[in-house]
Structure formats: C-alpha cells, structure tokens
Amino acid sequence: MWIIDAVGDLIHLSPAMAEWLGKSTETDESQTVQTVSEQWVDALRPDPSIRFRGHQTRQITLSKHLGDSKGLGESNLSDEALTAVAHWISLGNSGYTIGCVGEFLRDSEVPLSDWLGEGGLRQESLLRELIAKHQTSNARTADILLAGESDAAVLLRRRVTAATSMRCHLGLFTPTNSSSRELALRLHDTSAPDESLTVVDGALMDAELLEAYAAPAIQSINQHDSHRSNATLLIERLDEMPDDAQLKLSQWVEVFGDHLRLIGMLDPASVVDNHSHRGKPDDPLDAQIAELTHMPQAVTGIAKPLMNLMRAMPITVPRLKDRREDIPTLALALLREAHRSGQPQKRMSDSDMPRLGRDAMDALTLYPWPNDFDELAEAMASALGRVVGDRIGRDHLPLVIRSYRVGPRTESEQEPEKIENNFRIESLDEAVQKYERKLIDQAMEASQGNKAEAARRLGISRARLLRKLDG
C-alpha cells in the first residue's frame, strides 16, 4: 500500500510494498520513500480520471532497470520488471490517494471482523494519523517561512493573517517551489478547511487539459441539484498559463461566481527586473502589484480579469536577500525542524542539536540565496548530516555557500563620481579619526563588546584595537 498527496508526491510506502519493490525496510520510512525512483513514483500515481469516479484499477509495470539505476553500478542493472494490478481510492476532498496491489474480494465476501475489528478501524486510524502528520509538517514549514522581525516579515505575517480570516481569491506573488506551495496549502486549510482543493500546474494546461484536471473542483460545485457547493482551484505558475486556458478560467469565475475560489501563484521577478518603479513607494508590494496591473498581458503573461482577481488579496513572499536580518532566525528554525524530523537518525532530542557557529552564520547571511528559502532549508539539513560534534561551522555548509565571496563591482555597476567644485574640509586628520572611530564602534557593537572578535572584524590585532580604544 502507498499514499500519494495532493500535489502528486509519494509520502508513504507500507513495509509490505517496500519489500515487494525490493527496498530495505530497516531504515526510516521517509528515507525508504526517498529511494524510490521518479519513474516508479510516476507509475504509482493514478490517472487523472480518478477525479471523476473516485477510484481506479489498472495494471502497472515497474521496470527494475528504471527503479534500481539510481545510485547503483552498471552490474546491478537488469531488464526484470514487476507487474501487478493496482487499485487506487481517492480520499474525498483532501486530494490524497491510497494505492495498493493484490487480489481483491467483493465487499460481501470480506468478513465483518475485517471491517470493524482490529484490522479495519485501526488501519483507517493509522492512515488518518499519517495524513495529519504530513499536513502538520507542511504547516510547520509555512510557519518558519513567516518568522522574523524585519519589515518584510512583519508585512508578510499581516497579509497572511488577513488572508486566513476570510474566503477570497488570493494572489501569491512568489516563484512556485516547495515552500510557497506549502504556504498556499496552509492558506487554503485555514481559510476554508472543509472545502475541496484541486491543484493544477498552469504552465502545462491548455483549455482542454484544464477542463480535465480541474474537473473535481467543478464537479464539487455542481454535486447538489438544489444548491451549489464551494471549491478552490490552486493554479501554480499562473503567469505561464496559455491564453486559451486563462480564458477558460475567467469564464468559470464568471459563471460560478464566489463558489469557485482561485489561489494563483506567479513570479513577477522577470517583470520587476525589467521595469523600474517611479519614486520610492511606502509599500513595495503595493507598488509592484500596481505596476503589474497596468502592464499589458504581453508583458505580465496574465489576462486583466485574472490579474484583478489576484489583487483581491495579494501576498508576496520576500526574497531572503531582502530580509537578511531574518536569516539567523530562519536558519535556526530550519535546523531545529531538520533535527526534529530525524533526517540523521542519531539525533533524537533537542539537547543533542548542534549550535550554529558565528562563522557559519556569517556565511549564511552573506550568501545571496538564488533559490531562496528552499535552498536555506536544504543547507541546514545538509549541515546537520555532516556535522560531528556540537557545533556547525562554515566547513559543514554546502560548498557553494562556504566558498562564496563578494567580488568587486563591474565598471557598468560603478556609480559615476560626483564632482563638487566647492568641496572643502577643516581637517583631514580629524575626518579620518572620526571615520575610524565610527568603524570601531560598529565592530564593537556587532561583536557584542568582544574586543578580540571586533579586532578580527576590523582586520587588526587585539593590541592595536586596545590602543585605539584607550586613545
């Protein structure tokens, strides 16, 4: 037996299924799932038609060549394949699907004790507990994403709080990745917990495919003859959705009204990089959304009616480079989460969690984070797996982070020198002394009064720093 979540990821593999696949069951369950190749996971996913009927049966073939090639040498490859009849059942509006292989009996042939006894209710309880655990893990990641005391983090929390207090169309202005997807799922679960959710990838949809993949949401709205229910459609990469699919989406919103809620995810980075703001706005997000709204669809990639819906409750997830003061807080929280999830199984309690050294924290703060929050989470998990002892240093971080250095700006980035004809100072020595004192004060503050650390930051000896402080 196995479980597929709402976005198509394999999240659970029973010991019997792992044994059938030839995967070791001696390791942690999450590690067993990670060893299953993407080709096998694709074969274990149900067809989109399950959205219509709620269940599905078909034959699957798992090639040993595809499943075992990951991490094995050429001598271990073979053409042997596993073939079986697979059955899938959709778990209502949760988006989760249970799959299993084997021979099945009619309901009337199943003993009553199996339905209501130890093998029935207990198994159902375990499955519900597993799904709840997965959803809780996603919620924790979203909570970490909202942490921090920077202005950008405070603004993000305020908008998320507002979005979760009502049911309305939401626009997530952020690249589609693991963390932004989990934030979108949390927004839905909090604002409309009993409402069906359907997830589609806008970049892969044309009008015909959109009708097929969004069918569960449309059917949920029309399931009652006397009245319509509500449903939510989460569209990833909305800005890359073809025009005919956007037109179909706009028509649905017009027909179903408030019964169909949209949560759109779009990345405005390419547009913002090519168009500068006029003046300095008080709220960068409002200026960004306003600018996108006044741009034609050829530039934004989004039709005007859909853009207006995304403006109903716009939320932007700030990049790490725009909230560097939050990186220490986020890094510690992600380190604690990686430690809690038991990725390195040797670590079982918070007292065993290693601390982040100052050199590691400086490297994390300096790094530009091109892949943003997800890259920071992967860096913390990687460092936790490599560390030996109670301190994570710079050497335990991924190579790309620990080797990063800030280089000089190119000539095109250099700001033109401003020549002032009336430039004059009273004393060069006095100006140098004031500037030197300013740098020393900054170093002392950054090192929290530690003179040896301040000297290191200034690139001078401790004795020389003491002489300057005494002077």
pTM greater than the 0.85 cutoff: no
The yes-or-no verdict on residue 368 having pLDDT over 80 is: yes
Please indicate, yes or no, whether residues 51 and 159 belong to a single structural domain of this protein. Answer: no
Residue 114 forms part of a structural domain? no
Please indicate, yes or no, whether residues 139 and 274 belong to a single structural domain of this protein. Answer: yes
At 101, which CATH number?
3.30.450
The string of pLDDT tens digits covering residues 138-157 is 678 888 999 999 999 999 99
The string of pLDDT tens digits covering residues 298-342 is 445 677 788 888 888 889 888 898 899 999 999 999 998 888 876
At 275, which CATH number?
3.40.50.300
Q: How confident is the model at residue 426 (pLDDT cuts 50, 70, 90)?
A: confident
Q: What is the pLDDT of residue 119?
A: 55
Last residue of a domain, one of 90, 108, 126: 108
Last residue of a domain, one of 318, 337, 365: 318
Please indicate, yes or no, whether residues 231 and 312 belong to a single structural domain of this protein. Answer: yes
Boundaries of domain holding 470: 430-471
The yes-or-no verdict on residue 125 having pLDDT over 50 is: yes
Q: How confident is the model at residue 183 (pLDDT cuts 50, 70, 90)?
A: very high
Residue 236 forms part of a structural domain? yes
Q: What is the pLDDT of residue 351?
A: 65
**Domain total of the chain:** 4
Please indicate, yes or no, whether residues 41 and 142 belong to a single structural domain of this protein. Answer: no
Highest mean pLDDT among 28-37, 53-62, 244-253, 413-422: 244-253
Residue 126 forms part of a structural domain? no
Please indicate, yes or no, whether residues 103 and 139 belong to a single structural domain of this protein. Answer: no
Residue 410 forms part of a structural domain? no
Average pLDDT, the chain: 79
Percent of the chain predicted with pLDDT > 90 = 26
| SS3 readout for the chain | CEEECCCCCEEEECHHHHHHHCCCCCCCHHHHHHCCCHHHHHHHCCCCCHHHHCEEEEEEEEEHHHHHCCCCCHHHCCCCEEEEEEEEEECHHHCCEEEEECCCCCHHHCCHHHHHCCCCHHHHHHHHHHHHHHHHHHHHHHHHHCCCCCHHHHHHHHHHHHHHCCCCCEEEECCCCHHHHHHHHHHHHHHCCCCEEEEEEHHHCCHHHHHHHCHHHHHHHCCCCCCCCCEEEEEECHHHCCHHHHHHHHHHHHHHHHHEEEEEEECCHHHHHHCCCCCCCCCHHHHHHHHHHCCCHHHHCCCHHHHHHHCCCEEECCCHHHCHHHHHHHHHHHHHHHHHCCCCCCCCCHHHCCEECHHHHHHHHHCCCCCHHHHHHHHHHHHHHHCCCCEECHHHCCHHHHCCCCCCCCHHHCCCCCCCCCCCCCCHHHHHHHHHHHHHHHHHHHCCCCHHHHHHHHCCCHHHHHHHHHC
Q: What is the pLDDT of residue 110?
A: 60
Residue 218 forms part of a structural domain? yes
Please indicate, yes or no, whether residues 300 and 169 belong to a single structural domain of this protein. Answer: yes
Q: What is the pLDDT of residue 163?
A: 92
Please indicate, yes or no, whether residues 297 and 360 belong to a single structural domain of this protein. Answer: no
The yes-or-no verdict on residue 378 having pLDDT over 70 is: yes
At 455, which CATH number?
1.10.10
Residue 122 forms part of a structural domain? no
Residue 95 forms part of a structural domain? yes
Q: What is the pLDDT of residue 108?
A: 59
Please indicate, yes or no, whether residues 100 and 151 belong to a single structural domain of this protein. Answer: no
Residue 117 forms part of a structural domain? no
Please indicate, yes or no, whether residues 71 and 199 belong to a single structural domain of this protein. Answer: no
At 381, which CATH number?
1.10.8
Q: How confident is the model at residue 363 (pLDDT cuts 50, 70, 90)?
A: very high
Please indicate, yes or no, whether residues 303 and 159 belong to a single structural domain of this protein. Answer: yes
Please indicate, yes or no, whether residues 184 and 314 belong to a single structural domain of this protein. Answer: yes
Please indicate, yes or no, whether residues 82 and 228 belong to a single structural domain of this protein. Answer: no
